[in-house]
Structure formats: structure tokens, C-alpha cells
A and B are shown apart, each in its own frame.
Chain A
Amino acid sequence: DTEVTQTPKHLVMGMTNKKSLKCEQHMGHRAMYWYKQKAKKPPELMFVYSYEKLSINESVPSRFSPECPNSSLLNLHLHALQPEDSALYLCASSQETGTSGGRVGELFFGEGSRLTVL
């Protein structure tokens, strides 16, 4: 069972819609991530939050807007998307470097939200 929960599992939206993807973890992790994965490709990093602050933005278009309301939640707001944005969006979390050595660096992934943009 995954300890990172993503909703919705599937989302279909038009190019003019506004929607949000949600991610939740209760492992006490202070780093959270959004990845985008196209079919049969590796996950590509979009955003990293560390202690609720955005620490990495991999030059993602502004039609994707991340938000970290608290240490357990991560949202991805979607607006005016393009059909090529259709993909599996994966959320992940991890403990910070240097703490509790057994889990340093390991990411825990959610099951993903499958997005289709029409």
C-alpha cells in the first residue's frame, strides 16, 4: 500500500478548464515533489517543495501552478492546458537529507493522477 495518496486517479479536462490535482502524505516528510510521466518514458521532475517552500521549478509552464498549503499536502493547479500535457502526474515525498539515515534520499511515490486534456 502506498503511503502517498493522490486524487483524482483520473481526470479529463478541456483546454479552458481549471482543475487541481491533490497529494497527501502522513509520513512526516518535509520534501514533496511533482513528476510528469509520459507513456513508456521516465518520470520528469516538475517541482520540489522543501519545508513548504518551492525549492526547484524545472522551467515548467505557468499553466501548471504548484501549492503546498502545509507539510502534508501538495496541490497542482491546472489551467489552460494543452493536449500534449496529457500524462501521468506523480507525487512523491521524502525525508530531508541527513536525517534518519535508513531512508535518506528515498522517494515514496503515489499511484499517480492520469490526466487527459481534450
Chain B
Amino acid sequence: AQSVAQPEDQVNVAEGNPLTVKCTYSVSGNPYLFWYVQYPNRGLQFLLKYITGDNLVKGSYGFEAEFNKSQTSFHLKKPSALVSDSALYFCAVRVAMDTGRRALTFGSGTRLQVQP
């Protein structure tokens, strides 16, 4: 079984400050990890993923995430938040080489609110 935990329902940060959105995962095997963002009444937009290689992954809109195998975490970060980053963020996991189940398991989501 695979699962994802996003411990914070909401994260508030001032514009220009660094932001972190937390994610931990549980899988039996090597994980593929993803971050998606969702704006109101819209579909999910892919931000970044970790498949293998460097633990620090850079993605769209200045976001990055660090894969930490020992802590089973994949926190999303951005050095300087923008008001336009305010949205709902989902972490997702899929087991590598899982040819029987090609689907993602999503975390519960974290609402990011960036104040001007």
C-alpha cells in the first residue's frame, strides 16, 4: 500500500518570504513523488517530480522540492513567495516499477495563502 501525508491544512506566508509545504510518504519500494497545484475550479497542474538522481528537484514557477529518503519526506519549497502562488497544493506518490497499478495516491492537500 502507498500513502501520502500532508500535515498542514493551510500554510500562511507573507509575500517575499520563503515557503515550505510539507509532505511525507509511505510506500513499499522506491517511490515516484510529485507535486501538483490546483487553482479554484481548475484541474491539477504538474509542478515537479522526483524519479531518481539528485535529491533536490527544480520545477515550474520557481518551486523546488527535496527528496529525503531517511525521513521519507518530499517538502515543497520556494525562496520567495508570490501572492499568485496562493492555491491548493497536492503531494502524490506512486511506487516505481509498479506495472500493475499506474495511478497516483494524493495527499489531503495544503492550502497556501500568501499575504501581500
Task: Decide if A and B are genuine partners.
Answer: yes
How many CB-defined contacts (below 8 Å) exist between A and B?
Answer: 68
Contact of A56 among B41, B99, B103 (CB under 8 A): B103
Q: How far is the CB of B16 from chain A (nearest CB, A)?
A: 27
Question: Which residues on A sit within 8 Å (CB–CB) of B107?
Answer: 42
| Interface size grouping (class) on chain A | 20 to 34
Question: Which residues on B sit within 8 Å (CB–CB) of A48?
Answer: 101-103
| Residue pair B102, A109 in contact (C-beta under 8 Å) | no
Question: Which residues on A sit within 8 Å (CB–CB) of B102?
Answer: 31, 48, 50, 55-56, 94, 96-97
We find that the number of chain B residues with CB closer than 8 angstroms to chain A is 27
Interface flag for A66 (CB, 8 Å): no
Residues of chain B having any CB pair with chain A under 8 Å: 32, 34, 36, 41-46, 49, 51, 88, 90, 94, 97-99, 101-109, 111
How many angstroms from the CA of A104 to the CA of B45 in the assembled complex?
Answer: 16
| Residue pair B108, A105 in contact (C-beta under 8 Å) | no
How many angstroms from the CA of A101 to the CA of B42 in the assembled complex?
Answer: 28
The 6 A-B pairs of least Cβ separation, nearest first, read: A42-B106, A109-B43, A109-B44, A105-B32, A111-B43, A112-B43
